[in-house]
């Protein structure tokens, strides 16, 4: 923009207009950068698990206070029941006789798996059954 006029009022208005244009460009760039950062942050996130009142959950006691004298002798996990849903992210656990606050973020407890997957059992026969099978096979071969 050429400085054709030496009028201070016109120059001030032009300066204010340039500042407003620059601010608009900066705001658009910030909004674009914010969208990109939000997309990158949410790329690997999983939705939070929803628990219901009365559900059993396991709680990691790594950062919790326990009545044990030695930390290495204390339990690492404990099973609790959800007593209250405070918000979709915060749950209150039924922790009677505990010195710890009973409210936890949804990431701390893990659901209890009530139905275990089927186990693969190998059926072992008695030694007598194996001997009988071998003897019957020998008899068949000898006939």
Q: Is 97 left (phi over 0), alpha (psi -120 to 50) or beta?
A: left
- 88 or 138: whose pLDDT is higher? 88
pLDDT (0 to 100) of residue 41: 94
Pairing of the two strands 90-93 and 56-60: unpaired
Q: Which residue has the higher pLDDT, 34 or 61?
A: 34
pLDDT of residue 39: 96
* Mean of per-residue pLDDT scores for the chain: 78
- Give the pLDDT band (50/70/90) at residue 136: low
Token pair of 104, please? 């936890």
* Average pLDDT estimate for 79-85: 85
Beta bridge partners of 111: 57
**What's the pLDDT score for residue 21?**
98
Q: Is the pTM of this model over 0.75?
A: no
């Amino acid at each position: 923009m050429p400085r054709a006029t030496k009028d201070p009022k016109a120059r001030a208005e032009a300066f204010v207009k340039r500042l407003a244009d620059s601010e608009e460009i900066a705001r658009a760039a910030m909004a674009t950068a914010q969208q990109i950062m939000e997309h990158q942050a949410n790329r690997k996130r999983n939705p939070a698990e929803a628990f219901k009142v009365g559900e059993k959950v396991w709680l990691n006691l790594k950062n919790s206070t326990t009545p044990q004298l030695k930390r290495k002798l204390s339990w690492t996990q404990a099973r609790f029941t959800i007593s209250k849903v405070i918000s979709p992210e915060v749950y209150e656990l039924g922790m009677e006789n505990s010195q710890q606050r009973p409210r936890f973020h949804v990431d701390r407890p893990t659901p209890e798996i009530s139905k275990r997957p089927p186990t693969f059992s190998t059926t072992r026969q008695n030694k007598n059954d194996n001997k009988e099978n071998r003897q019957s096979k020998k008899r068949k071969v000898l006939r």
